[in-house]
Amino acid sequence: MKQSTNMYDNLPNVLNAAQLAQTLGISRAGAYNLMNSRGFPTLRIGSRKLVAKQHLAEWIEKKVTSREVPYV
């Protein structure tokens, strides 16, 4: 049986703040701060804030390969 090497495979297609926090190893407050930050691919549905797994992976890749100052 082939094992997947994609670290995103086990994530839901759309993550809420709690799932984002758990995935990134940050607090829920930190996840909300990130979701409110400029340039982060937050999807807003009413008052809910979500992020698509694909957009999260793209955002991480962009941050890893760019020379931008990382989010703190």
Quick check: 6 pLDDT over 90? no
Question: What are the sequence ranges of the domains in the chain?
Answer: 14-65
pLDDT band at 37 (very low <50, low <70, confident <90, very high): very high
Q: What local confidence, expressed as pLDDT, does residue 72 receive? A: 54
The average confidence (pLDDT) of the chain is 89
Can you tell me the mean pLDDT for 49-70? Answer: 88
Please, what CATH class does the domain formed by 14-65 belong to? mainly alpha
CB burial readout 31-54, b (16+ within 10 A) else e? bbebbeeeebebeeeeeebbbbbe
pLDDT band at 11 (very low <50, low <70, confident <90, very high): very high
Q: What local confidence, expressed as pLDDT, does residue 22 receive? A: 96
